[in-house]
Chain A
Amino acid sequence: MADWSKSTIATASWAFPIVAGMAGLYAATRATTDPFEVVIAIAFLVLASLVGVATSNSGNRFTMGLAVAAAIPFVLTRGTGVDLAGSVATYGVGLAIIWALRYSRGESHSELLPTLIRRFAGYVVYAVVYSAMRVGFLADLSGGWEDLLPFSVALVAWITVEVTLRALLVLGPRELSRSYLARALLHDLNVFLGLALTGAMFGELFPELGWWALPIALLPYMFAHTAFKRFQETKVTYKQTIRALARIPEVSGLGIDGHADRTTELASSVSKEMGLGPALVEDVEYAALMHDIGRVSLNEPQVIRMGYTDDDIARWSAEIIAESPNLDRVATHVLHQYEPFRKPGEQTDPEVSIVSRIIKVAAAYDWQVHDKGLSPLQALEILHAGAAYEYDPEVVASVHRLLETRGVLTPVRT
Chain B
Amino acid sequence: MEWKQRRSLLGRYDRLQPMAQRKFKIAASYSAVGIAALVVSFLVADPPNWLIWLPFTGLFVLLEFFAVEVNDRMMQSSSVMVVMTAGVIFAIQPGSDAMFGMALMGATALITPQDIKERRWFQPVANFGQIVVAGAVAGFILDANLGHLQGASTESLVRVAVATALASLAYATIQNIMVRHAVKKVFGRDNLEPWSQMHVLFTSEVSMGLLGGLIGAAYLIADRPAMLVLIVAVYGIGHMSLYAFSQLRDAHLGSIRGFVKTLEAKDMYTRGHTERVAFFAQMIGEQLGFTGTQLETVRWAALIHDLGKLAVPTELIRKRGRLDDEEYDLMKRHAHLVEEILAEVDFLQPMVEIASGHHSNYDGSGYGGSGHREGRTPSLEASIVAVADSFDAMTSARSYRMALSQQYAIGELRRHSGGQFHPDVVDAFEKALEKTGRRWGAPHVNDEEMARRLAEEPELTLRG
A: residues with CB less than 8 A from B are 143-145, 147-148, 190, 193-194, 197-198, 200-201, 204-205, 208-210, 212-213, 215-216, 219-220, 222-224, 226-231, 233-234, 236-238, 240-241, 243-245, 247-248, 251-253, 293, 296-297, 299-301, 316, 319-320, 323-327
One of A204, A230, A296, A301 near B247 (C-beta < 8 A)? A230
| Chain A residues touching B, majority SS | helix
B144 within 8 A of A: no
Is A219 a contact partner of B240 (Cβ separation < 8 A)? no
Residues of B within 8 A of A229 (CB): 244
One of B157, B214, B227, B341 near A251 (C-beta < 8 A)? B341
| CB<8 Å pairs between A and B, sample of 7 | A204-B222, A223-B240, A234-B244, A293-B262, A297-B265, A320-B261, A325-B253
Q: Which 4 A-B pairs have the closest CB atoms?
A: A325-B254, A323-B261, A230-B244, A324-B258
Q: Tell me, in angstroms, the Cα distance from A236 to B245 when the chains sit together.
A: 14
Is B344 a contact partner of A248 (Cβ separation < 8 A)? no
Cβ distance B145 to chain A, nearest Cβ, rounded Å: 18
Residues of B within 8 A of A243 (CB): 344
B313 within 8 A of A: yes
Question: What mask results when residues 220 to 255 of chain B are scored 1 for a CB within 8 Å of chain A, else 0?
Answer: 011111110110011001101101110110111111
Is B226 a contact partner of A201 (Cβ separation < 8 A)? no
Residues of A within 8 A of B1 (CB): none
Is B210 a contact partner of A248 (Cβ separation < 8 A)? no
With A193-B233, A243-B344, A248-B341 given, name 7 new contacts (CB 8 A): A216-B211, A220-B238, A223-B208, A233-B248, A251-B311, A252-B310, A296-B266
Residues of B within 8 A of A319 (CB): 265
Is A219 a contact partner of B244 (Cβ separation < 8 A)? no
Q: Tell me, in angstroms, the Cα distance from A293 to B207 when the chains sit together.
A: 45
Q: Tell me, in angstroms, the Cα distance from A227 to B244 when the chains sit together.
A: 5
Residues of A within 8 A of B313 (CB): 299
Residues of B within 8 A of A248 (CB): 262, 310-311, 341
Is A320 a contact partner of B214 (Cβ separation < 8 A)? no
B: residues with CB less than 8 A from A are 154, 157, 204, 207-208, 210-211, 214-215, 218, 221-227, 229-230, 233-234, 237-238, 240-241, 243-245, 247-248, 250-255, 257-259, 261-262, 264-266, 310-315, 318, 337, 340-347
Is A148 a contact partner of B229 (Cβ separation < 8 A)? yes
Is B314 a contact partner of A299 (Cβ separation < 8 A)? yes
Given A216-B214, A219-B214, A230-B241, A144:B248 Cβ within 8 A: no
Number of A-B contacts (CB under 8 A): 184
Is B346 a contact partner of A324 (Cβ separation < 8 A)? no
The residue in chain B whose Cβ has the minimal distance to the Cβ of A144 is: B225
Q: Tell me, in angstroms, the Cα distance from A228 to B244 when the chains sit together.
A: 7
Q: Tell me, in angstroms, the Cα distance from A213 to B244 when the chains sit together.
A: 26
Given A220-B234, A223-B238, A237:B347 Cβ within 8 A: yes
One of A145, A201, A233 near B230 (C-beta < 8 A)? A201
Residues of B within 8 A of A325 (CB): 250, 253-254, 257-258
Q: Tell me, in angstroms, the Cα distance from A299 to B318 when the chains sit together.
A: 12
The residue in chain A whose Cβ has the minimal distance to the Cβ of B219 is: A205
Is B262 a contact partner of A320 (Cβ separation < 8 A)? yes
Cβ distance B162 to chain A, nearest Cβ, rounded Å: 13
Q: Tell me, in angstroms, the Cα distance from A197 to B230 when the chains sit together.
A: 7
Q: Tell me, in angstroms, the Cα distance from A228 to B154 when the chains sit together.
A: 32
Q: Tell me, in angstroms, the Cα distance from A212 to B341 when the chains sit together.
A: 51
Residues of A within 8 A of B264 (CB): 323
Is A324 a contact partner of B257 (Cβ separation < 8 A)? yes
Is B257 a contact partner of A204 (Cβ separation < 8 A)? no
Is A245 a contact partner of B244 (Cβ separation < 8 A)? no
Q: Tell me, in angstroms, the Cα distance from A59 to B211 when the chains sit together.
A: 30
Given A204-B224, A324-B261, A301:B248 Cβ within 8 A: no
Is A236 a contact partner of B241 (Cβ separation < 8 A)? no
Most A C-beta atoms less than 10 A away, residue of B238, B257, B258: B258
Q: Tell me, in angstroms, the Cα distance from A316 to B310 when the chains sit together.
A: 14
Q: Tell me, in angstroms, the Cα distance from A314 to B362 when the chains sit together.
A: 44
Q: Tell me, in angstroms, the Cα distance from A132 to B266 when the chains sit together.
A: 67
Q: Tell me, in angstroms, the Cα distance from A226 to B258 when the chains sit together.
A: 26
Is B218 a contact partner of A237 (Cβ separation < 8 A)? no
Given A200-B230, A216-B214, A237-B248, A301:B315 Cβ within 8 A: yes
Residues of A within 8 A of B234 (CB): 197, 201, 220
The residue in chain A whose Cβ has the minimal distance to the Cβ of B227 is: A204
The residue in chain B whose Cβ has the minimal distance to the Cβ of A326 is: B254
Is B241 a contact partner of A223 (Cβ separation < 8 A)? yes
Is A240 a contact partner of B244 (Cβ separation < 8 A)? no
Q: Tell me, in angstroms, the Cα distance from A20 to B214 when the chains sit together.
A: 38
Is B225 a contact partner of A240 (Cβ separation < 8 A)? no
Residues of B within 8 A of A194 (CB): 237, 240
Residues of A within 8 A of B253 (CB): 325
Given A226-B244, A299-B313, A301-B314, A244:B341 Cβ within 8 A: yes
Q: Tell me, in angstroms, the Cα distance from A251 to B310 when the chains sit together.
A: 9
One of A205, A223, A299 near B218 (C-beta < 8 A)? A205
Residues of A within 8 A of B204 (CB): 223, 226
Cβ distance B296 to chain A, nearest Cβ, rounded Å: 15
Is A296 a contact partner of B344 (Cβ separation < 8 A)? no
Residues of B within 8 A of A209 (CB): 154, 157, 218, 221-222
Is A212 a contact partner of B154 (Cβ separation < 8 A)? yes
One of B222, B311, B315, B345 near A205 (C-beta < 8 A)? B222
Cβ distance A55 to chain B, nearest Cβ, rounded Å: 13
Is B230 a contact partner of A251 (Cβ separation < 8 A)? no
Cβ distance B258 to chain A, nearest Cβ, rounded Å: 4
The residue in chain B whose Cβ has the minimal distance to the Cβ of A143 is: B224
Is B315 a contact partner of A299 (Cβ separation < 8 A)? yes
Q: Tell me, in angstroms, the Cα distance from A211 to B240 when the chains sit together.
A: 26
Cβ distance A184 to chain B, nearest Cβ, rounded Å: 19
